[in-house]
Structure 1
Amino acid sequence: MLALSLTTVGSAGAISVAPGDAPDEVRVGETVTTTVTIEDPFVDMPDQWTLQGSTKLENVSWTVTVLQQGDQVNQTVYGEQSFEQELDASSGGDTIEVEITGDAPPVDNYTYHPRETFTLYDFDTVQGSSTSDLNASEVHHYTNASRDARLAIEDAEAAINETGGNSDAEAQRDRAVSAYENSNFGNAESLAGDAQSQAEQAQQSAQQTQTLLMAAGALLVVLLVGGGIYYWRANQDEPTKLQ
């Protein structure tokens, strides 16, 4: 799946931004690489302006390549979490490619809803003292333990939804979420498993009750029919007073 890109074009005029392929989620410490392409950087824009970029990736490297009709005009590499590059129409350039590579950062604060995300990249245009959003992307990050706990909670929620809701299971699910958000992933996974079991047991109990009620109803019908037949036969066999 591709990460959703949040794009806002203010005074950036006719600039077109094509976000690169990026994962919807990534494990902490995993290396991520994506390329963002900026087309027509000087259409409805000043001849000189500044491109700003920032990220929460660690061990990051930016490679900014300016192209004119496919030919490289210049290329600059940056090694910090943010950069600024002056752009000048007189130097040429109808396309700017920005490749970013880095490692997914640790999670500062675990939240079940919404999912934990970090800024993969955030680009702005700067003209004098005016800064405008250009394009940004957020990506979910996780550890193996947090992912296992989240999946267990999701399974519990699915089981609860299938039963139409169960207060005991829901309370246990809430405890699992609380443990998750306190980074107690082993406990969260265990509590979520309990919640799922409670929901499934409640569903089985409801199904058994329904089966018993159906059986009792069927038995009642049989008894009523049998009793009716017996009564009818008894009345048929009994001689009337006229006889």
Structure 2
Amino acid sequence: MIGPAELTDWGLAAVLAGLAGWLVTPTGELGRVRPARLPELPGWAVPVPGASPMRVRALAGLATASAMAALTPGPGWLILFGAALLGVAVMVAAGRLESGGSRRWRLQRAAAMPDILTLLAGALEVGTPLRAAVERVIEFGDDPCTRDLRELAFRVSAGIPDEQAWRILAATPGWSEVARDVARAVSSGEGIVALLETHAEELRTVAAEQAEKKARKAGVSATIPLICCHLPAFILIGVVPIVAGTIFKAL
């Protein structure tokens, strides 16, 4: 006869299996066209830009909770409560870390965006409509910005209005200001060419300032190795022989 503990274990296993199945199920093409609106999270649970996707973080928390539930002896309800707390803690902690791939993607996007905006502005300046200009820009490139614009073109071709598609793109790190301004210009009829050129110039200025700061930081960082290596060498080669020679002469 199955006791209460066994029933709790079977119930926990069923819940965890169901959650795992939902997490590993692909989102499908609809998720690419119109991302789902998730409920607002409290400030402490909001992930940083570039954190792992929600499904990945939830799967990590689920795996941790499952491991705790399987390895920890004790009452079933207490194990379930502790495993749930640990799983939520792991999921929140994973959301506070930017993944290495996301960081590389962000840097590549920032490096390519000024040129992409300039190309898009050039296509618009010769009279090409916005949709056609986007399609021309994304024909040959394979950088993060081009892939972002491919997602934009996919949404527009699926029937989403241009303004809404650009507002969806604004949720992508690095595109927030540009995409919002383009969406506003599409709805109001403002000139997009000057807007894109202004953003491209601002991004180049920011990139130059960051490169200058990085160069200055490298110079300051090089001071510590110089002190740690050259100063002892100077003392051993220049000071110690003089002091030793003076002592030997005195003796």
What is the TM-score with the length of structure 2 in the denominator? 0.28
Q: Which of 1 and 2 has higher RCO (CA within 8 Å, sep 6+)?
A: 1
* Greater share of residues in helix: 2
What is the TM-score with the length of structure 1 in the denominator? 0.29
